[in-house]
Structure 1
Amino acid sequence: MKYWLFKSEPDDFSIDDLATSANQTSFWFGIRNYQARNFIRDELQPGDQILFYHSSCAVPAVVGTAVIKSTAQVDNTAFDPQSPYFDAKSDLHKPRWFGVDIGFLSKFAQPVSLRFIKQDPQLQQMYLVAKGNRLSIQPVADDEWQRIVALGAKQQPA
């Protein structure tokens, strides 16, 4: 099993939206970065676990956990001219964009803010805090996963 961090803007899709989705499951679509696409297509496996991260908001933070529920599937939003994720260069016979089903696991008692993560000596090697990193899907090391899940279960300073 591997661990991942998925970024989502909470105004578009939040941990609460995932928790209230049918069967607490949703298709993760709209990824239009090749490195993130490669993670989806080549590495994500059912059972892998996710840190669900709210980005582009007042307090960016890891807010809960989810699980990969499917292997990569074609992201059909790439073929829909009405979708904000439409890609005119996509080819039905050679799809370039993929997504996966994810399922809700938990919402943290306390979000683990990006500010806190940047200050925590145990999390300094996280891909999330690497200079210039903006990937919406990124790997997480086992010890980083354990630390953030433990922090999410309790109060910590802002």
Structure 2
Amino acid sequence: MLLGLDILPVIHVIDDDAHSARLLLGTLAKCGGPGALHLGDENEGLAALRRCFDDPAAHRPELLVVDIKSHSGAVRDFTKRHGDWLRRNGVQLAVMVPPTDRSGREEYYEAGADAVFFRQPELDAYRREMAGIISFWARTQRLDAVGM
């Protein structure tokens, strides 16, 4: 059991805004998502992931959702620096960014993101994005992971 949770979180979140992170985790849960855990801001989250990857017995996330707002290129910078490292450790990377067109999304994919989702100010649109994250996670599950 991790942190007293009955269900191990499979989605981990790096978000530099605690209110935003609580909203994201709460909405994922209301949408029927799997267990999720906020790792903190970029520095805290990376430190937690490094400890996790260094310990072969540690529970690893299946999906990391990154929503860093410290500057306009923060998510893209994070993705460029850490996308390959996450993939080598078996973690899919989903990013939360302001709405953009196809070429804007492609920049995140080229930087190393596996999925791109939009920050939405309207609640129903935000819920649809969270449902999209859950759907992405479900579609990318390994078939042999059941019962592990």
Q: TM-score by structure 2 length?
A: 0.29
Largest Rg, 1 or 2: 1
- The structure that is strand-richer by fraction is 1
- The structure that is helix-richer by fraction is 2
Q: TM-score by structure 1 length?
A: 0.28
